Structure 1
Amino acid sequence: GPLGHVVHIFESGPKLAYLYWKRYEYTLDEEWLRDRAYPMLKGIAEFFRNYPNVKKEQDGKYHITGINDSEGVLGARDPMGAMASMHTIFPVAIKASEILQTDEELRQEWQEFYNNLSPLPRSDDPEAAFSTAPGEPIIWVNSRKPVMYGSGHRSNVPITYFDMTTLETQVHNPDFYQIGVNSYNGLYPEGIHEGIYVTVMGDDAVIAAKMGQAEDVRHAIINQIKCPQAQDPESSDFFSTDLKGELANRLTLREGLNATGAERLGNASYALHEALCQSNPPAAGDDPVIRLFPAWPSDWNAQYRLLCRGGFLVTSSFQDGKIEFVEIESQVGGVCKFRNPWGEDEFVVYRNGKKWKTMSGSLLSVKTKADDILILVKPGTTPGQFKSVVAGE
Structure 2
Amino acid sequence: MKKVFDKIAFSSGVYQTVFIFLFTFLYSCQKAEPKKHTIWFKEPAEYFEEALPLGNGRIGAMIYGGVEQDQILLNEGTLWSGKPVDPAMNPEAYKHLPAVREALFSENYELANQLIKKLQGSFSESYQPVGTLFFDFGKQGQISDYRRKLDLESAVSTVEYTTGQTQILRESFVSFPDQVMVVRFSAKGKVKLSFSVKTDSPLPHVVAVDEKRLTMTGNAPVHVVPSYWDSVHPVEFAEGQGMQFCLLAEVAVTDGQITQSDSLLQVDDASFAEFRVSVATSFNGFDKDPATEGKDEKALAVNYLIQTQQYSYDQLKERHIRDFQSYYNRVRIDLGESELDTLSTPERLMHFSNGGDDNDLAALYFQFGRYLLISSSRPGSIPANLQGIWNAHVRPIWSSNYTTNINVEMNYWPAEVCNLSEMHEPLIDFTANLAKTGEITAKTFYDCGGWCCHHNTDIWAMSNPVGDFGGGGANWANWNMAGVWISTHLWEHFAFTRDTVYLREKAWPLMKGAAQFCLDYMVPGKDGYLLTAPSTSPENKYLTDQGVVGGALYGATADYAMMRELFSSLIEAEKILEIDPEFSAQLSQAMRQFPPYKIGRKGNIREWYYDWEDEDPTHRHMSHLFGLYPGHTISLTETPELAEAAERTLLLRTNVGTGWSIAWKMSLWAHLKNPEMAYDCLKRLLNYVDIRKETGMNFTGGGAYANLFDAHPPFQIDGNFGGTAGIAEMLLQSGNGEIELLPALPQAWKTGRVSGLRARGGYTVDMEWENGSFKKAIVVPDHEGHFKVRVNEKLLELYGKRNELVVVRNM
Q: TM-score, normalised by structure 1?
A: 0.73
1:123-272 alignment, distance < 5 Å = 123=600, 132=601, 137-144=602-609, 151=615, 155=622, 157-158=624-625, 159-165=628-634, 169-188=635-654, 197-202=656-661, 203-226=664-687, 228=689, 236-237=698-699, 246-251=704-709, 261-272=716-727
Identity of counterpart residues, as a percentage?
18
What residue identity is the alignment partner of 1:55?
V
* Most deviating of 229-238 and 200-209: 229-238
Q: 1:369 to 1:378 in 2, by over 3 A?
A: same
Partner of 1:290: 739
1:314 match: secondary structure: strand
Q: 1:60 to 1:290 in 2, by over 3 A?
A: same
Partner of 1:302: 752
Contact 1:206-1:270 within 8 A present in 2 as well: yes
Which of 559, 578, 586 is the matching residue for 1:82? 559
Partner of 1:326: 777
Cα separation, 1, equivalents of 2:486 and 2:525: 29
Cα separation, 2, equivalents of 1:364 and 1:245: 39
Contact 1:225-1:265 within 8 A present in 2 as well: no
Contact 2:710-2:718 within 8 A present in 1 as well: no
- Aligned-pair RMSD on alpha carbons? 2.9
Contact 1:156-1:183 within 8 A present in 2 as well: no
Q: 1:271 to 1:252 in 2, by over 3 A?
A: closer
Superposition deviation, residue 66 in structure 1: 1.6
Where do 5+ consecutive residues of structure 2 fail to align? 1-116, 120-471, 542-550
Partner of 1:2: 118
2:795 corresponds to 1:363: yes
Cα separation, 2, equivalents of 1:280 and 1:229: 39
Q: 1:153 to 1:336 in 2, by over 3 A?
A: same
Partner of 1:385: none
Contact 1:334-1:367 within 8 A present in 2 as well: yes
Partner of 2:809: 377
Contact 1:64-1:78 within 8 A present in 2 as well: yes
Q: 1:61 to 1:253 in 2, by over 3 A?
A: closer
Contact 1:225-1:264 within 8 A present in 2 as well: no
Q: 1:227 to 1:161 in 2, by over 3 A?
A: farther
Cα separation, 2, equivalents of 1:69 and 1:237: 18
Partner of 1:70: 538
1:34-49 alignment, distance < 5 Å = 34-49=504-519
Cα separation, 1, equivalents of 2:804 and 2:518: 42
Superposition deviation, residue 328 in structure 1: 0.6
Cα separation, 1, equivalents of 2:527 and 2:533: 15
Q: 1:199 to 1:115 in 2, by over 3 A?
A: same
Partner of 2:37: none
1:337 match: secondary structure: strand
Q: 1:78 to 1:261 in 2, by over 3 A?
A: closer
Q: 1:252 to 1:325 in 2, by over 3 A?
A: closer
What residue identity is the alignment partner of 1:251?
F
Superposition deviation, residue 199 in structure 1: 2.0
Superposition deviation, residue 145 in structure 1: 5.1
Contact 1:310-1:334 within 8 A present in 2 as well: no
2:553 match: secondary structure: strand
Superposition deviation, residue 29 in structure 1: 0.8
1:70 match: secondary structure: coil
1:33 match: secondary structure: helix
2:576 corresponds to 1:99: yes
What residue identity is the alignment partner of 1:249?
N
Cα separation, 2, equivalents of 1:295 and 1:238: 25
Cα separation, 1, equivalents of 2:712 and 2:488: 31
Partner of 2:728: 273
Residues 344-386 of structure 1: per-residue CA shift (max 9 Å, x gap): xxxxxxxxxxxxxxxxxx222223221231112234xxxxxxx
1:144 match: secondary structure: coil
Contact 1:94-1:107 within 8 A present in 2 as well: yes
Residues 46-78 of structure 1: per-residue CA shift (max 9 Å, x gap): 100011xx2123433211222221122422111
Structure label with greater radius of gyration = 2
Cα separation, 2, equivalents of 1:253 and 1:60: 45
What residue identity is the alignment partner of 2:537?
D
Where do 5+ consecutive residues of structure 1 fail to align? 124-131, 282-286, 344-361, 380-393
2:524 corresponds to 1:56: yes
Contact 2:690-2:705 within 8 A present in 1 as well: no
